[in-house]
Amino acid sequence: MNADVTPAFLSLSELVKFLEYGLIGLIAIIVIIPAFLIFTLIFRQKVKAETVHLFKVFLTFVGGLVVLLFGFTYFADNTVVTKVSAEIDVTQTRIEDLTKTIEAMEVSGAEAGTRQRLEAARAALNTKLNELKRITGDGADFVLLKDERPYKGMPTGDRIVEIAKSRLGTKWVYGKRAQLTNPDYEGPWDNSEFMGWVVYQATGEVIGCEPPDAGLADCYTGFWGNEPGEAGLEKTVDWGVAYAGAILVRLPNPGVERAGKVGVSLGDGRFVESNGEIEKVMISDAQPNDFWDFAIQLY
């Protein structure tokens, strides 16, 4: 499911946790006050009747508040959350059934319009599942863009091309960090951040960025020298230039003032990149093969 901005209000699970901390605090107060009074009795020998009366009133009030907080916490944590958990199971089952139906229709070559309607229904269920998990405090598991948008069913290379081309014309800004987990992000970005976003949206992998955490990652063309790890295979430049969806990599070399560059091959020599000279995402003309260092095929 799409990673979205957390709303300003508390979820039920967060509210329950807040109340639990409040309950602990009140219990601590109830323990501290009698300890203070005992200390007073021991060292001052007497306590005014008004003080004792006020303490009894306060203790009664706090005790009632503790009971109410405990009751609400128990209700919220064991009744509402339990019902939501059951709804999560039902929703997940519906998503799995829809997925099987869509895959069967793809094999049989069923009408595209019908498949698209089912995919839209599945996307809506994924959104609902995200909200339900937020209520129970389970968090929102990331569902790849390929499972929610029209790129479903495409080979990885084609999906990378389509996602990259969907941001043509967006603004280039040097050093601007991209929101990797935001599928609706439209820049600005520099060359490496644009590629980091495209790859993450297409595969769910953080590649060409450090640390390998989508929320903290800072992308840099030089990091591609350590990739793709288990996410793909390193290929020759000739292969990458001819394969749509391959990642073409030119590593930076500060010693000879050589800037790095990463782009998505279109299979005809041209490639999609966030271009610093034109200052936008664009389709660039073919470069001589020796311009690039290597290519990567992502799974």
Is the model's pLDDT at 197 over the cut of 70?
A: yes
Q: Across residues 170-182, what is the average pLDDT?
A: 89
Q: For position 264, what pLDDT does the model report?
A: 96
Q: Across residues 126-147, what is the average pLDDT?
A: 54
Residues 139 and 160 in one domain: no
Q: Which domain holds residue 252?
A: 156-298
In a domain? residue 83: yes
Domain-ending residue, one of 143, 178, 208: 143
Is the model's pLDDT at 143 over the cut of 50?
A: no
CATH of the domain at 236: 3.90.1720.10
Instruction: Give the number of domains in the chain.
Output: 2
Residues 70 and 119 in one domain: yes
Q: For position 145, what pLDDT does the model report?
A: 39
Residues 129 and 191 in one domain: no
Residues 132 and 161 in one domain: no
Please give the model's pTM, rounded to 2 decimal places. 0.51
Is the model's pLDDT at 132 over the cut of 70?
A: no
Q: How many residues does the chain have?
A: 299
In a domain? residue 225: yes
pLDDT in tens, 11-27: 444 555 556 666 676 67
CA dihedral 2, 178, 278, 280 (to 10 degrees): 20
The average confidence (pLDDT) of the chain is 75
In a domain? residue 1: no
In a domain? residue 124: yes
